[in-house]
């Protein structure tokens, strides 16, 4: 008993001393996407600011492949010392119910540090489509179930599941047409291959301003300040909320003091006016959260998509 009483304070002292000395060597920031993609620039913006403030190199490691699984698995298996983190995205919440053979447990094998950005989504229509409002969209599909098609960036994506969630909450049926990425999906709406396109406001806005698409509704919790005239789906169906996001995660077991250091740094950077401006140019709302808030958000998103996948009968990916 006496030995245990001595060892516990020593372990605590060692942990606190380690945290007080953090960081003192290079940090690896894993990006589970290829260089030059939509997520890569966000990582590099944060890496630069973190390096400047902490006075240590922050190395961005692009580890794409297997639907982000390769990069996430590398992060999950890293030492939980705060020197390896990953910029996760909303795909982890949709992958959880769709991929039963993931090499990690999405909730148990990560330390959730802080959200960093939210990417607003919306539904837009081809100008030739008679639908101009969400009410008209719902009304048309009530009268003629399955008469409208909507494109997404792929099967099992947040956008696909967001469409299925709307179908469930509104008791309607529209036909999902998956494409390989957001670019082809948006262009399908522009060309008229599909009636509707579900994607980010940022990607579709130039096409709307050019008269090649028209916004019908946004998928955020409330109307966007940048699009006050476009109603949110939640106004008609309370509780509807679909967003793409990015956030900082580390391996499970990171010391709370180091997790807190990371979270405070992300919050500091997210609040910088210059970062807000840079993120806005990429269609991203700069945000931050506490570790507990981030974990709770991811947990709730996984539960939401599990229900949608089950109700829509979407088969698991083997």
What is the full DSSP assignment across 158-211? Answer: HHHHHHHHHHHHHT---EEEE-SSHHHHHHHHHHTSSSEEEEEHHHHHHHHHTT
Whole-angstrom distance, CA of residue 291 vs CA of residue 307: 25
How do beta strands 196-200 and 214-218 pair? Answer: unpaired
Strands (E), 23-79: 27-31, 58-62
Architecture of domain 120-236: 3-Layer(aba) Sandwich (3.40)
Residue 122, SS3?
Answer: strand
- CA distances to 34, 36, 93 from 41, rounded to whole Å, are 11, 7, 22
Whole-angstrom distance, CA of residue 5 vs CA of residue 84: 32
Whole-angstrom distance, CA of residue 91 vs CA of residue 108: 17
What does each of the 318 residues of the chain score in pLDDT, given as a tens digit? 555 555 555 555 445 555 679 999 999 999 999 998 889 999 999 999 999 999 999 999 999 998 899 999 999 999 999 999 999 999 999 999 999 899 999 999 999 999 999 999 999 999 999 999 999 999 999 999 999 999 999 999 999 999 999 999 999 999 999 999 999 999 999 999 999 999 999 999 999 999 999 999 999 999 998 899 999 999 999 999 999 999 999 999 999 999 999 999 999 999 999 999 999 999 999 999 999 999 999 999 999 999 999 999 999 886
pLDDT of residue 175: 98
Architecture of domain 14-118+244-312: 3-Layer(aba) Sandwich (3.40)
Q: Where are the domains of the chain?
A: 14-118+244-312, 120-236
Whole-angstrom distance, CA of residue 201 vs CA of residue 219: 10
- CA distances to 119, 269, 296 from 266, rounded to whole Å, are 17, 5, 18
Q: Could you please report the per-residue DSSP string of 217-279? A: EE-SSS--TT-TTSPBHHHHSTT---EEEEEEEEETT--HHHHHHHHHHHHHHHT-HHHHHHH
Contact yes or no for 250/29 (Cβ under 8 A): no
pLDDT of residue 20: 78
Whole-angstrom distance, CA of residue 286 vs CA of residue 153: 23
Instruction: Tell how far CA 84 is from the center of its chain.
Output: 20
Same fold, 14-118+244-312 and 120-236: yes
Four-point Cα dihedral 38, 211, 120, 239, nearest 10? -150
């Amino acid at each position: 008993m006496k030995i245990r009483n001595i060892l516990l304070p020593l372990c605590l002292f060692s942990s606190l001393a380690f945290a007080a000395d953090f960081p003192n060597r290079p940090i690896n920031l894993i990006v589970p996407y290829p260089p030059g993609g939509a997520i890569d620039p966000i990582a590099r913006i944060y890496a630069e600011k973190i390096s400047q403030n902490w006075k240590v190199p922050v190395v961005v490691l692009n580890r794409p492949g297997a639907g982000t699984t390769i990069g996430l698995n590398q992060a999950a298996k890293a030492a939980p010392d705060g020197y390896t983190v990953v910029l996760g995205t909303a795909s982890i919440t949709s992958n959880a119910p769709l991929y039963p053979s993931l090499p990690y447990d999405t909730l148990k094998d990560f330390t959730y540090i802080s959200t960093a950005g939210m990417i607003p989504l919306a539904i837009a229509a081809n100008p030739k489509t008679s639908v101009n409002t969400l009410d008209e969209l719902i009304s048309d599909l009530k009268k003629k179930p399955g008469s409208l098609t909507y494109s997404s960036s792929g099967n099992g994506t947040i956008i696909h599941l967001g469409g299925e969630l709307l179908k469930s909450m509104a008791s309607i049926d529209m036909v999902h047409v998956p494409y390989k990425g957001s670019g082809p999906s948006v262009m399908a709406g522009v060309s008229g291959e599909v009636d509707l396109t579900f994607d980010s406001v940022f990607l579709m806005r130039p096409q709307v301003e050019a008269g090649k698409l028209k916004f019908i509704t946004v998928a955020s919790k409330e109307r966007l300040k940048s699009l006050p005239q476009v109603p949110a789906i939640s106004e008609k169906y309370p509780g509807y909320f679909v967003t793409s996001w990015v956030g900082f995660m580390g391996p499970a077991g990171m010391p709370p003091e180091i997790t807190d250091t990371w979270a405070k740094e992300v919050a500091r950077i997210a609040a910088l006016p210059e970062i807000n401006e840079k993120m806005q140019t990429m269609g991203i709302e700069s945000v931050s959260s506490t570790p507990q808030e981030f974990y709770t958000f991811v947990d709730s998103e996984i539960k939401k998509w599990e229900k949608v996948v089950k109700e829509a009968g979407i088969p698991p990916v083997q």
